[in-house]
Homo-oligomer: A and B are copies of this chain.
Amino acid sequence: MLKGFHYPLTPKGKSTLNPTPPWHYSSDFLNIEFWSDPAAVAAVLPPGLDPDPKAEGHGNALFYDWQFTGANDEYLDPARYQYREFFLLVDAFFEGRPVSYCPYIFVDNDAAIARGWTQGYPKRLGQVFQTRYYAATGKAGPALAPGSKFAGSITASGRRLAEALLTLKEPVTDLSILKQRPIVNLLHTPRLAADRQDKPAVHEFVENIPHDVKIEQAWIGEGLLTLPVVAGEEISDLAPIRCGKGIRASMAYIVDDLKTLRDLTK
């Protein structure tokens, strides 16, 4: 039997893009709160997800510097598994329940693309960067201190799609502020067969259920996000009307399951 979770499936299972779950993650991240035109948010929601009537176009932009591992010390092969990520989450309702939906997401690693597509994250490749924090601070390495600035950017297909800036104010003392809505994605695998190109093999609402979430070194401050207009892309339809708070923190969690909420192919 061939082995592997994602492509390729091979005799020993060493070449596969990803080992079988559980998948472990650690990261530093920036999280910028923003409000788009509520009509633009409504437009990116797939049928079956409803606008959150009180959200007024609320969303979050996130930049992650991830490290990944499975059971085989993948974190010791950072050239293959370390990656960076940018994504947007917008507030929505699923069957009357507040959730987040991810319309756009970019990573710089193929194993991360494969894991994302398996979770309903519509990942494309991009070059993602965020200002880093180092224990040895200085003019090049901002301290975790009031007034320190951290920036993020994402470029895909040669075009800058988003830029963010966070100015720290204070450590987060009320950890409830870091709580996120559950993320509900559209899991989608299209069919190439000529008579089934409008009948995807997989098309369902899924809920991500990560666990063992840890957050450390969380600071809150003022966030700024821009989503410039570029040819061939439509992410700028969600360009912020105003921005809100920003968070910078480290986090870790485990992914080993996914919950199907509704199969849309039936």
Contact = CB atoms under 8 A, between A and B. Distances in A.
Contacts of A154: 158
Contact of A15 (B109, B110, B235): B235
A245 interface: no
A26 B67 contact: no
Chain A, interface SS category? mixed
A151 interface: yes
Interface residues of A, number: 111
A216 interface: yes
A85 interface: no
A46 B233 CA distance: 39
Contact of A151 (B77, B192, B255): B77
A137 to B, nearest CB: 7
A78 B202 contact: no
A94 interface: no
B2 A46 contact: yes
A134 B26 CA distance: 7
A40 to B, nearest CB: 8
Contact of A10 (B5, B103, B160): B103
A15 B229 CA distance: 13
A212 B141 CA distance: 14
Contacts of A217: 135-136
Contact of A6 (B8, B14, B134, B190): B190
Given A142-B75, A158-B127, A82 B132 contact: yes
Given A11-B44, A132-B65, A193 B77 contact: no
Interface in A129-174: 129-132, 134-142, 149-155, 157-160, 165
Interface of A: 1-2, 5-12, 14-15, 17, 20-21, 24-28, 43-44, 46-47, 65-69, 73-80, 82, 103-105, 109-110, 113, 117-119, 122-125, 127, 129-132, 134-142, 149-155, 157-160, 165, 186, 188-194, 197, 201-202, 212, 214-217, 230, 232-235, 237, 249-260
Given A24-B140, A27-B136, A80-B232, 9 more contacts: A5-B190, A75-B131, A75-B142, A78-B132, A119-B192, A134-B216, A136-B214, A141-B252, A193-B259
